[in-house]
Amino acid sequence: EQPKTLFAYVGANLKNPVSELVSSYEQETGVKVELTFNNSGALLNQVETTKQGDIYMPGGMPFVEQARQKGHIDEVVGPIAFHTPVIITPKDNPAQVFSVQDLSKEGVKLVIPDKDATAIGKTAYRIFDNIGKTSEIEKNIIANLETPPKVLAAITMGQGNAGIVEYSNTFNDGDKIEVVEIEAEVNEVEQIPIASLAYSTNKELAMEFIQYVHKNGPKVFDKYGFKTE
């Protein structure tokens, strides 16, 4: 008998914790979980095109809401953890960026995750709106990249002097960058949900996996630097 298989679409920024959760789930249950990682927008496009799969786990609720409105979603569980935007700069902070407001200063070369494709990109624009400086900050954006890890790589390679990423992206690179936390009153912390797809042919199994992630996810996400409360 072939082992049962689930298919999950997972946000690229969630790769490490979800891979670990899947590995332990497979060992415990014998159920195989096939994973495809990409930015949340690209995954939603895949779901819309193929109308197949069991699980959708993007980086934030706006993509789940979008998918729900289009009839792709059955049930949503979470939050499993939180996406917490932070500003990063090279180690010497050449543009002297110490707050979100500073991202509008002359001489800032800002790199951010793409606002249409990523949860953090969408969130970044809400933060800019919160301080009323969207147009000034937009003028300083020199690149919109597909994922937060690509933003981190760009900053560490000197391709920009400020970036916006998720808190967990800074976990292993503290020696190469400075992290500037965004003031709580303007920051937009996003819930990371997990949802079952309407197209699942294994709905019961999909919900079992979702409950497993809900129960065990926070501890694993915490290990990889995500905030879980």
| pLDDT for the residue 2 | 60
User: Where are the strands (E) in 40-148, listed by range?
Assistant: 55-57, 73-83, 85-90, 110-113, 141-145
Of the candidates 59, 29, 34, which has an alpha carbon nearest to the alpha carbon of residue 44?
59
Q: What are phi and psi of 97, to 5 degrees?
A: -95, 115
Q: What is the DSSP letter of 227?
A: B
Q: What is the DSSP letter of 54?
A: S
Cβ neighbours around 178 below 10 Å, total: 17
Kindly report, residue by residue over 121-148, the tens digit of the pLDDT: 999 999 999 999 999 999 999 999 999 9
| pLDDT for the residue 204 | 95
Average pLDDT, integer, range 202-214: 97
pLDDT band for position 194 (50/70/90)? very high
| pLDDT for the residue 218 | 97
